[in-house]
Chain A
């Protein structure tokens, strides 16, 4: 990859307890992309982010930010990185605006009330700026965490499970915000175990399980390569059973007999759809509607992990 903004080289973490949280991880993050790190709980997502951000010590390996070692050049590296941790940890007795200004100055930026106002307005927090943090709702607190991470204008943003326990509306807001940040040139790495989130947001997806990066792929490529599609056919007349003439397609008939389902491989050259439709016409089976559905990342993900387990 040419000119990655962030390169992870052989990053390993073994905790004192002996738990191998990260097997050597190698990963390049492209400038300006949204990268989703997908994995079940305990897969090592947070450990990886925490090492990059300086919260956890690596056992081995290095991280390069624009080619520079992140520990030797920690000041420059950390000024460029913003982190929204998974937990809603904040100084609950502080007013909202103070805690956000604190974050900006902590990261070495001069106080800038105008910029803080912009950030708070962007996140719909401005009206609550004087509120003591403990009086805010969970959703608001989540926004505060983001405001704190953005307060020093980082160009690399880590979002660790940004929408865990967040309602649908806030989730949409957050996705929109992430897109706006990307448009402004921020590189975003988010971890999630909601496949929907990766599918919705990411340019590329990395799948991590038990400390191992199983796969890194363009999201669309991944979908194309591994995705299976399903064809639903709404029949004009109900059937009692799948006619023998359509046996070779391995169709499923819905319980009420009104819908036929055909599962096919989206990457295959011959999907079998035209011949199925011809066969149906010949058999005198009419349909009033049809749709195809791309299998979700979730299906892919579960498939990958099961595949790994079976191989092990």
Chain B
């Protein structure tokens, strides 16, 4: 195992994040505050409780997931796209690194930053609402799993994208809509049929509800179903990456 190599990529990526540390952290803090002002105060005052949970607290896991998805995909896709764009990928490809080691370096760093941002949102949320976590260890493990999964997904996007515009397409056109429609800000029980059944085909529903379960011990779908869906997505992404390295798709001519 080339531990020095993995660590070198990890440090390099984290150093890149440190250069934009303040904007990187200010954005989620401001966005979270805005969500609380709009959803918490304006709408929340009419909503009060969902499944016995105060609306302000109810949206915290959804907000954390929304940022976690976007941060994971953005950091990871940018991390691998940049060397492809500048040409420095030659060094990564010629280094004694296995596919797993390369991915661990990039995905590890991207996931670290995404988790830091999610935790900053968690802390910021405490300024507005009192939110308790029922299963803190499961919550952290789940955060790790989802961050890892979306970073793998981001890695695929970064390899697939032919330019910087394409990097934005997947988060903007796919992930954000699915998150908004996936019960980040409401319970899917509030939807009438057939929308409720259709929503269950949205994978993000499982991710958000699994995470919400670790907070409140109750959610729209069971924790087991959520974990199964998350692992399934993880395996799909991991398989695609395995294929990318095996065939050299858009990495090697």
Chain A interface residues toward B at CB < 8 A: 15-16, 50, 53-57, 74-79, 81, 83, 85, 87, 89-94, 98, 102-103, 105-111, 148
Contact = CB atoms under 8 A, between A and B. Distances in A.
A81 B4 CA distance: 17
B26 to A, nearest CB: 20
Interface in B221-253: 248, 252-253
Given A56-B253, A91-B88, A105 B96 contact: no
A102 B218 CA distance: 47
A108 B5 contact: yes
B86 interface: yes
A92 B88 CA distance: 10
Nearest to A80: B96
B195 interface: no
B94 A54 contact: yes
B4 A110 contact: yes
B8 interface: yes
Contacts of A54: 93-94
Contact of A83 (B15, B88, B90): B90
Interface string B67-98: 00000000000000000001110111111110
B39 interface: no
A103 B9 CA distance: 10
A57 B252 CA distance: 7
B90 A55 contact: yes
6 contacts: A53-B90, A57-B248, A57-B252, A83-B94, A91-B88, A107-B96
Contacts of B252: 55-57
A203 B5 CA distance: 35
Contacts of B90: 50, 53, 55, 83, 85, 89
Interface string B4-18: 110111011001100
B12 A78 contact: no
B19 interface: yes
Contact of A102 (B12, B96, B248): B12
A107 B95 contact: yes
B166 interface: no
Chain B contact residues (Cβ within 8 angstroms of A): what range? 20 to 34
Interface of B: 2, 4-5, 7-9, 11-12, 15-16, 19, 86-88, 90-97, 248, 252-253
- Main SS at interface, chain A: loop
Given A85-B90, A91-B88, A108-B4, A79 B96 contact: yes
A54 B97 CA distance: 11
A107 B92 CA distance: 9
Given A89-B86, A91-B88, A106 B97 contact: yes
Nearest to B102: A106
A108 B94 contact: no
A93 to B, nearest CB: 7
Contacts of B19: 93
**Considering the complex of A and B, which 4 residue pairs feature the smallest CB-CB distances, nearest first?**
A89-B87, A105-B8, A78-B96, A75-B96
Given A56-B253, A78-B96, A106 B8 contact: yes
Contact of B91 (A16, A56, A93, A103): A103
B8 A78 contact: no
A106 B5 contact: yes
Given A16-B253, A56-B252, A57-B248, A106 B88 contact: no
A105 B88 contact: no
B150 to A, nearest CB: 25
B4 A78 contact: no
Contacts of A91: 12, 86, 88
A260 B181 CA distance: 91
